[in-house]
Chain A
Amino acid sequence: MPEANNSQSVLKKCKTGIKGLDEITGGGLPERRPTLLCGGAGCGKTLLAMEFIIRGAVEHNEPGLFVSFEENKEELTQNVASLGWDLNKLIEEKKIIISYIYIEPSEIKEMGEYDLEGLFVRIDRAINSIGVKRVVMDTLEAVFSGFTNMTILRAEFRRLFRWLKNKGVTAVITAEQGDSTMTRHNLEQYVSDCVILLDQQIKETILTRRLRVVKYRGSNHGSNEYPFIIDQKGISVLPITSLGLEHEVSTEIVFSGIPRLDTMLGGNGYYRGTSVLISGTAGTGKTSIAASFIQATCQRGETCIFFAFEESMNQIIRNMRSIGIDLEKWVKNGLLLFHVARPTLYGLEMHLVTMHKLIDEFRPKNVVVDPISNLNAVGTTYEAQMMLLRLMDFLKARQITSLFTDLTVTREVIDQTEVGVSSLMDTWIVLKSIEAGGERNRGLYVIKSRGMSHSNQSREFLLTSNGLELVDVYVGQEGVLTGTARFAQEVKEKERTLRLRQELESKKRELERKRRIMELQIESLQAQFEGESEELETQIQSYELAENRLDKTSLRMAELRKSDGM
């Protein structure tokens, strides 16, 4: 690591390998320095410390020493075997040393001055034997039960921590939490480089574990309480809020699965990596919109996780089949993963951690949470909101397009979601049941869609056996009409148009008729005129003939009379 050598002032960090903890601490624990890990009984100190040692040995090739004052090697081996770690194998491979220090207070009597050199020698021997880089002391405070001279102990602890630093090992010292102090014996006075506090709370029978970095000298760190869980794979801490708003933004668009909704959104769908909220009252078709979205994503060959908090997988599959969406197909070919859990099954944090883990393992491009409103049942609205905020940040940082459904109870206030997360969402589609004329129909509005010139109109939204359809609602003098009323109105409209067209055509025909009549009249007049003119011409001719004849006759008569009058 040439960088680190160049600048001595930059604090080097030692990766714990524990999911999330390295993110919160900005890279791990302070290297070659002791870290104090405190917390009440049973809150996971030993496990966290052990995971630090094991991951160091396995993943970072740093041999570890685990000094245990409470549990012996066999107990520790058994405890971590359930997490899939073979401690004995690591010990055989000389990657880990477990040193069990047993103190029996009843045997011990103090007389005069002493020090803890025995402990030092023992740790030193172990460190040198396999080149230990990581040391855990769990829990050092057990020493307090065996010895009573506080002045000596304090001085010795001070010396121990300094000595550990000089040895160049990264140490984790665990300590019990006191009533009003972080540790029962104020160890935090000596270990001042990094202090991590573990805590667990039980609220309404649900256990939540939390981790907080109280202090980290020379480094910035996430200062919130981060929930963590212990499961089959060890400890997972949620560092989500530390991510902030620095995630990448995509201009790529993903289809909503409903063609007309895409156009309503002003483009071709949702932006990739954004969060979409579908809110609405019961039975307005929220899940159906989600299912359409899933179908569209799976058809593109993208993966998706469906977090269902209300219905079972089979129920959703059956229901969606009725609108022509076959989700089972996608489950079978591995593109769609269902995660079904009752919200009250465990705490919000546990839900969040489970979701995180699944997302990290399955690496989906899209996520659906149906519905988020049920999470209110577990914690307060604020807690649910915080959880969703964290989830959204997490999803956005991974460029996962997410769709949340939210059940609104009050029908009047549509501009407020139950969980109060609408402001966090990029796209918000509201489904509303419109009640009129003795029936209830579904209406759909796009309240907002960030960065898109979305439609301001409402649409009627139909669930058909071929999927979802959006139709224009009737907006006119009689208000917004939907369902049968809209249909009736449409029929009425059609009739009126038809009538108009008929009238128009009849007028046209009348005009034509009149023109025909006129033409006929002209024709007949012409015919009459022609007839009459013929007759007159005949008469004229006959008169001319007669005249001619008359002239000839008088000439002939004059000839005959031998008249010389010519």
Chain B
Amino acid sequence: MDDHQTKQERATEAVGNSPPHLTRHRLTLYVAGTTPSSLRAIENIRLICQENFDEKHELEVVDIYQRPELAEHDQIIAIPTLISKSPNAMRRIIGDLSNTDLVLVELGVRPKI
């Protein structure tokens, strides 16, 4: 639990003390070093965030080799995994996130088709 709390605190610090917003997205992407799928996922999610979210969104990229304890806490098995804890219910999107439309649907930005 300690890990979780520190991470949350750290994430909050990163965006300053701005009040929580309903549509504020908090995303964590777990990757493993510089594997092709990891690199692709990082690129894809950055693009998605830039194009769809305002600057209030939080995106944290965690390298499981560097921070294995975070991966453990978040029950990460597959790599890459994008975890979305807010604003909707916990979602895990695994894969290189190459299908932008589906990612947006999963994140609740776009309605389901």
* Interfacial residues, chain A to chain B (CB-CB below 8 A): 99, 101-103, 107-119, 121-122, 125, 143, 146-147
Contacts and interface: CB of A to CB of B under 8 A. Distances in A.
A147 to B, nearest CB: 7
A121 B70 CA distance: 11
A122 B72 contact: yes
9 contacts: A99-B72, A108-B94, A111-B94, A111-B103, A112-B40, A115-B78, A118-B64, A119-B77, A121-B71
Nearest to A99: B72
Given A118-B81, A147-B78, A113 B37 contact: yes
A112 B97 contact: yes
Nearest to B75: A102
A112 B99 contact: yes
Interface in B67-113: 68-69, 71-72, 75-81, 89-99, 102-103, 106
A109 B91 contact: yes
Interface of B: 30, 32, 35, 37, 40-41, 64-65, 68-69, 71-72, 75-81, 89-99, 102-103, 106
Contacts of A125: 68-69, 72
B95 A112 contact: yes
A272 to B, nearest CB: 60
Given A114-B37, A125-B68, A125-B72, A109 B106 contact: yes
A122 B71 contact: yes
B75 A110 contact: no
A111 B95 contact: yes
A130 to B, nearest CB: 15
Contacts of B91: 107, 109
Q: Chain A interface mostly helix, strand, loop or mixed?
A: mixed
Contacts of B78: 114-119, 147
A121 B64 contact: yes
A425 B56 CA distance: 87
B61 to A, nearest CB: 14
A125 B99 CA distance: 32
Contact of B79 (A110, A111, A114, A146): A114
A214 to B, nearest CB: 28
Contacts of A108: 92-94
Contact of A111 (B35, B64, B72, B93): B93
A147 B79 CA distance: 12
A529 B99 CA distance: 163
Nearest to B100: A111
A147 B92 CA distance: 11
A116 B79 contact: yes
A116 B35 CA distance: 12
A7 B83 CA distance: 50
Contacts of B93: 108-111
A118 to B, nearest CB: 4
A451 B97 CA distance: 81
A373 to B, nearest CB: 57
Nearest to B36: A113
A121 B75 contact: no
A117 B35 CA distance: 10
A118 B95 contact: no
B37 A111 contact: no
A280 B72 CA distance: 69
Nearest to B69: A125
Nearest to A153: B78
Given A118-B64, A118-B77, A125-B68, A111 B90 contact: no
Contacts of B69: 125
A135 to B, nearest CB: 16
A114 B68 contact: no
A101 B96 contact: no
Contacts of A109: 91-94, 102, 106
A122 B78 CA distance: 11
Given A117-B64, A118-B30, A122-B68, A107 B92 contact: yes
